[in-house]
């Protein structure tokens, strides 16, 4: 049973560039959430997708956008990268929209130079 998978594992970009991160949820899960984890901090909620729509959003600017595909996989896009966007980006999936327990992937480490 495949868990949550994310790609790529590491990424280096320069300021002003755009980046796309990808996530495949755990088998049987239809809800995907994205989190940003800065060094020494806990993960911070970016947004959640269900039925290909953004259902909830945390306190992140519009430069952060996402998408969910019919197969439940998801993408996180960040435009106009800033140095402060350097972080570990985690994808989590849950069985459905009502489920509290989320299962996380290993993350994508983004470095913005």
Partner 1 sequence: DQQVKQNSPSLSVQEGRISILNCDYTNSMFDYFLWYKKYPAEGPTFLISISSIKDKNEDGRFTVFLNKSAKHLSLHIVPSQPGDSAVYFCAASGLGGSQGNLIFGKGTKLSVKP
Q: Which residues bind partner 1 (CB under 8 A)?
A: 4, 31, 33, 35, 40-45, 48, 55-56, 58, 90, 92, 94, 97-107
CB of 15 to partner 1, least distance (A): 26
Q: How far is CA 111 from the centre of its chain?
A: 15
CB of 21 to partner 1, least distance (A): 13
Cβ-based nearer residue to partner 1, 14 or 88: 88
Cβ-based nearer residue to partner 1, 59 or 71: 59
Cβ-based nearer residue to partner 1, 6 or 16: 6
85 phi, psi to nearest 5 deg: -80, -5
Cβ-based nearer residue to partner 1, 17 or 27: 27
CB of 16 to partner 1, least distance (A): 29
Q: What is the 3-state secondary structure (H, E, C) of the chain?
A: CCCCEEECCEEEECCCCCEEEEEECCCCCCEEEEEEECCCCCCEEEEEEECCEEEEECCCCCCEEEEECCCCCEEEEECCCCHHHCEEEEEEEECCCCCCCCEECCCEEEEEC
CB of 18 to partner 1, least distance (A): 24
């Amino acid at each position: 049973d495949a868990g949550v998978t994310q790609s790529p594992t590491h990424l280096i970009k320069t300021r002003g560039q755009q980046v796309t991160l990808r996530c495949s949820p755990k088998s049987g899960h239809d809800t995907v959430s994205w989190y940003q984890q800065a060094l020494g901090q806990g993960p911070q909620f970016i947004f959640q997708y269900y039925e290909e729509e953004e259902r909830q959003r945390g306190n992140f600017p519009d430069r952060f956008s996402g998408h969910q595909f019919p197969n439940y996989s998801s993408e996180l896009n960040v435009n106009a990268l800033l140095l402060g966007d350097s972080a570990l980006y985690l994808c989590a999936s849950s069985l459905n929209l009502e489920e509290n327990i989320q299962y996380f992937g290993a993350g994508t480490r983004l470095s913005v130079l």
